[in-house]
Amino acid sequence: MSHEAGDTFNGAVLPAMARSAIAAHLGLSERQPVPDAAWLHQNGACFVTLHKHGVLRGCIGSLVAYRPLGEDVVANAIAAAFHDPRFPPLSSDEFGEIDIEISLLSRPEPVRVADEAALITQLRPGVDGVILEYGAHRSTFLPQVWEQLPEPALFLAHLKQKGGLPADFWHPEMRVSRYTVQAYHEQPEGTL
pLDDT confidence tier of residue 186, bands split at 50, 70 and 90: confident
CA dist., res. 120 & res. 110, Å (int): 14
Structural domain count of the chain: 2
| 95 and 116 in a common domain | no
Residue 152 placed within a domain: yes
Per-residue pLDDT, 188: 59
Percent of the chain with pLDDT over 70: 93
Residue 83 placed within a domain: yes
Residue 188 placed within a domain: no
| 159 and 97 in a common domain | no
Last residue of a domain, one of 105, 126, 152: 105
| 76 and 48 in a common domain | yes
| 132 and 77 in a common domain | no
Per-residue pLDDT, 158: 97
pTM of the model: 0.88
Q: What is the pLDDT of residues 11-54, one digit of tens each?
A: 889 999 999 999 999 999 887 777 888 999 999 999 999 999 99
pLDDT confidence tier of residue 3, bands split at 50, 70 and 90: very low
| 91 and 25 in a common domain | yes
CA dist., res. 124 & res. 10, Å (int): 27
Per-residue pLDDT, 1: 29
Q: What is the CATH classification number for the domain harbouring 149? A: 3.30.1490.150
In sequence order, which residues have a C-beta less than 8 Å from that of residue 115 and are 6 or more positions away? 170
| 93 and 73 in a common domain | yes
Which amino acid, one-letter code, is at 149?
A: L
| 88 and 115 in a common domain | no
Q: What is the pLDDT of residues 50-69, one digit of tens each?
A: 999 999 999 999 999 999 99
Per-residue pLDDT, 5: 41
Per-residue pLDDT, 12: 87
Per-residue pLDDT, 31: 75
Average pLDDT over residues 112-119: 92
Q: How far is CA 8 from CA 20, 52, 167, 185, in A?
A: 21, 31, 44, 18
Q: What is the pLDDT of residues 123-141, one digit of tens each?
A: 999 999 999 999 999 999 9
Per-residue pLDDT, 6: 53
| 125 and 45 in a common domain | no
Q: CB burial class (10 A; 0-12, 13-18, 19+) of residue 192?
A: exposed
Residue 2 placed within a domain: no
